[in-house]
Amino acid sequence: MQPISKETAIAIVGAGAMGSGIAQVAATAGHKVFLFDTREGAAAKAIELLSPGLEKQVSRGKFTAAQKTDILSRIHPVDRLAQLADSGLVIEAIVEDLAIKQELFRQLEAICADNTILATNTSSLSVTAIASVLESPARLVGMHFFNPAQVMKLVEVVTGLATGKEFADKVFATAQAWGKSAVFAKSTPGFIVNRVARPFYAESWRMLEENVTDAVTIDHAVSKAGGFRMGPFALMDLIGHDINFAVTNSVYDACYQDPRYRPSLQQKELVQAGHLGRKTGQGIYNHGAEPPVPSFMETLPAPSMVQVCGALENTGKLAARLAESSIDARWEDGNGEIRCDHFTLALTDGRTATQRSVEEGINNLVLFDLALDYGSAEALCLAKADQTSEQAFRLAAGFLETVGLRPMAVDDSPGLVVMRTVAMLASEAAETVSHGVADAKSVDTAMTLGVNYPVGPLAYAEQVGLSRILTVLQALEGHFGEDRYRPSPFLRRKVLSGGCFLE
């Protein structure tokens, strides 16, 4: 399918940050762009506000001054919808209100030619529902950009029940021609990104509510061990808790209160207090103060010798760090544990340390958390069984510190922090694939480009081992007794068959 010709005009309805960003993208690709907003003078002001951002790109060598001028000259403010009649593609980027969007598209359908493609930038509303009021619903397609549209590479091309394949294919090809990475998604609550990302936020709130640890430790673990660019609380402060909470509620309600998407009462309190994050100066963090740092453990000197019992499955680079340290490591058969006279250290399998200590008869058991790369991780969470002595805990922490990992103590909770988060993301991603929302490659592409995950959740799960991810989820489900933690049946099937999600 060929993209929309550069000679074809593009229209944008809505001159906010998203609408003006999309206008810049289309103009940069060579199109004449009409920008409309119901607020008097808003379109012209939005075009004016694009100039400083483009000037920065000129200073970085991305554009010349002449190219900047050319881009801005292609964007034309208009004050009447009727002036969009000759456009080949109209993209709306207005308020997330179904009735208002439906009314807009009724008007656009009456104004525009029969072959004009109508696109909605909605992030949470049903494309099927928006199109249901049209005489020709086949030509309405979801074209979901991510903010800022000029920078973010991802575009979700969303098809409703009535969307014509030729229109969706045209929008997909156009997004690619505009320098974006497009993925197809079916119109379901949250599409790909806003659905699959829910556990990233939800589990952090649950851990906070369970007093597993504090917000800064969770953020530090997720970023410095898990490899994510930002921790969940720092990211929610950046997004705005009002926006994040609204999206969570939208997905939760649209999925008939599925417990996997249940909103947090603590986040609701923040929103009600007006503590929305960076934009108000106060969210989880006080943005007028020095950034907080986690409380690292007080340690005791590491033992001079340990036994490594079996292969350190999924943690090979931890073994490499151990080999480079001053600790004498002796290798024996076993289940991938690190032992000495004082403690046994093992990667979490989803059970609490207390439960695992009892079930396996291990004295002074200490569990450590998942890291994306144990060779470059800076810190790691540790939890001890209730039966484990404080001395043994600090000795185990000293071991980690000796191999270059700052230890952070968390309460004895199932799955610790990073492993719990990654397991829930993987399960949600597997469900998204099994429900036909998108294929596995598209899901991982969407999560890496749309929310800057270090790797896609399915690739992350395969790196950890699908069997271990399933084991962790089963342990979470057993511990809490909640349907929220049910493992994806599709994930279970992959484990049973020995298959994988990605080639």
CATH assignment at residue 156: 3.40.50.720
Alpha carbon distance 158, 438 (integer Å): 10
Among 385, 403, 395, 394, CA closest to 315: 403
Q: Which of 187, 215, 247 is at the close of a domain?
A: 187
pLDDT of residue 448: 98
* Structural domain contains residue 55: yes
* Structural domain contains residue 112: yes
Classify burial at 341, counting beta carbons within 10 Å of its beta carbon; exposed 0-12, middle 13-18, buried 19 or more: exposed
CATH number, domain of 264, equals 1.10.1040.50
Q: Judge if pTM exceeds 0.75.
A: yes
* Structural domain contains residue 334: yes
* Structural domain contains residue 315: yes
Phi, psi of 164 (to 5 degrees): -75, 135
Residues 25 and 112 in one domain: yes
Structural domain span for residue 57? 10-187
pLDDT of residue 318: 86
* Structural domain contains residue 320: yes
pLDDT of residue 178: 98
pLDDT of residue 319: 84
Number of folded domains in the chain?
3
pLDDT of residue 284: 97
* Structural domain contains residue 294: no
The residues assigned a catalytic role are 123, 144, 156, 194
The segments of the chain whose pLDDT lies below 50 read none
Which are the contacts of 426, defined by CB distance < 8 A and separation ≥ 6? 457, 458, 460, 461, 469, 491
Q: Which of 357, 379, 409 is at the close of a domain?
A: 409
Among 16, 441, 12, CA closest to 192: 441
pLDDT of residue 411: 98
- Amino acid at position 285, single letter: Y
pLDDT of residue 292: 92
* Structural domain contains residue 149: yes
Span 272-307, pLDDT tens digits: 999 999 999 999 999 999 989 999 999 999 999 999
pLDDT of residue 142: 98
Among 94, 143, 89, CA closest to 118: 89
